[in-house]
Amino acid sequence: MAKAPSSQSANIRIGIGAWTYAPWRGTFYPSDLTQSRELEYASKNLTSIEINGTFYGLQKPASYEKWYQETPDDFVFSLKAPRYATNRKVLADAGETIERFFASGVLLLKQKLGPINWQFATTKKFDKEDFEAFLKLLPASIEGQKLRHAVEVRNDTFKTAEFIALARKYNVAVVLAGDSEYPQIADLTAPFVYARIMGTTDKQAKGYSAKALDTWAQRARQLAAGTTPDGLETSAAAPAKTATRDVYLYVISGFKERNPAAAMALIKRL
């Protein structure tokens, strides 16, 4: 079994969305591996995983404890926040849902808790007053544990300097959508970068061509160094000051069967 690096010199973490997917059995996972050990296996070949189940409903505290125990000490999970917080007309009313989410056992991941991704529907348009009210609801820390937040906006109305200024004010990352139909906003707004690349295809054994993998590996290095790579779209906002940033990059969607291969190929390049 090829073990992923125990630490990343540039603080770059590469992963996939979730770890349970039947077509990965016999391709990513060995055919004789029991399903109960899939997370353990994935966490030794990747450096992060984005948990998607949290988007659809609250998870049990026992689940967070189990995930913590089954993964290496330096592994990190990101979580998709509950859709009930973001899929609403008035974002300012999401406070109770946000509080319930963080009280559900999330903190049991301890140091393995990475960024929280707050994903919005494609129909959600930018409203400065309401969006700022939402950002104010996101806790910077709970019980002494610092939290990182990212917002995944999917409407062109967010491609404004005003939105970027808000994200920077609250130290919230704007999710960088790569190789997808969603609006791309590559502005750096937080001490970390959260990227989701969605272009894997069945025509490539590793999901992406070698050239595309080289490109994303180089982009990850540049983002970690605090610079925005050429070829990525930004808003009309002024560039952020250059500063080292942690990078969380997930291979999501596309031809999902190839996503683990693409993620491992990126780790190898880095």
Q: Exposure pattern of 132-158 as b/e (b: 16+ CB <10 Å)?
A: bbbbebbeeeeeeeebbbbbbbbeeeb
Q: Which residues pair with 223 in a beta bridge?
A: none
Name the least confident of 9-18, 69-78, 162-171, 243-252. Answer: 9-18
Q: Could you tell me if residue 262 is inside a domain? A: yes
For the domain that residue 184 is a member of, what is the CATH number?
3.20.20.410
Grade residue 242 by pLDDT with cuts at 50, 70 and 90.
Answer: confident
Name the least confident of 14-28, 203-217, 234-248. Answer: 234-248
Grade residue 4 by pLDDT with cuts at 50, 70 and 90.
Answer: very low
Give which of 33, 30, 39 is closest to 77, Cα–Cα. Answer: 39
> What is the pLDDT at residue 112?
98
Give which of 78, 112, 43, 51 is closest to 193, Cα–Cα. Answer: 78
Grade residue 239 by pLDDT with cuts at 50, 70 and 90.
Answer: confident
The Cα 58–Cα 104 span in angstroms is: 7
> What is the pLDDT at residue 1?
39
> What is the pLDDT at residue 5?
36
Q: What are phi and psi of 142, to 5 degrees?
A: -140, 125
> Is the Cβ–Cβ distance between 78 and 46 less than 8 Å?
no
Q: Could you tell me if residue 4 is inside a domain? A: no
pLDDT at 87 exceeding the cut of 50: yes
What's the number of domains the chain is made of?
1
Q: Could you tell me if residue 167 is inside a domain? A: yes
Position with higher pLDDT, 8 vs 149: 149
Greatest alpha-carbon pair distance for the chain in Å reads: 54
pLDDT at 7 exceeding the cut of 90: no
Position with higher pLDDT, 237 vs 54: 54
The Cα 45–Cα 4 span in angstroms is: 5
Q: Could you tell me if residue 3 is inside a domain? A: no
pLDDT digit string (tens) for 193-210?
999 999 999 999 999 999
The sign one gets for the Cα dihedral 204, 50, 185, 124 is positive
Q: Could you tell me if residue 96 is inside a domain? A: yes
Domain assignment of residue 81, given as a range: 12-269
Q: Could you tell me if residue 2 is inside a domain? A: no
Q: How does the average pLDDT of the chain come out, rounded?
A: 95
pLDDT at 251 exceeding the cut of 70: yes
Q: Could you tell me if residue 6 is inside a domain? A: no
This prediction's pTM: 0.95
Q: Could you tell me if residue 173 is inside a domain? A: yes
pLDDT digit string (tens) for 124-156?
999 999 999 999 999 999 999 999 999 999 999
Residue percentage of the chain with pLDDT more than 70: 96
Grade residue 67 by pLDDT with cuts at 50, 70 and 90.
Answer: very high
Position with higher pLDDT, 2 vs 184: 184
> What is the pLDDT at residue 237?
82
pLDDT at 115 exceeding the cut of 80: yes
pLDDT at 107 exceeding the cut of 60: yes
Mean pLDDT in residue range 205-234:
96
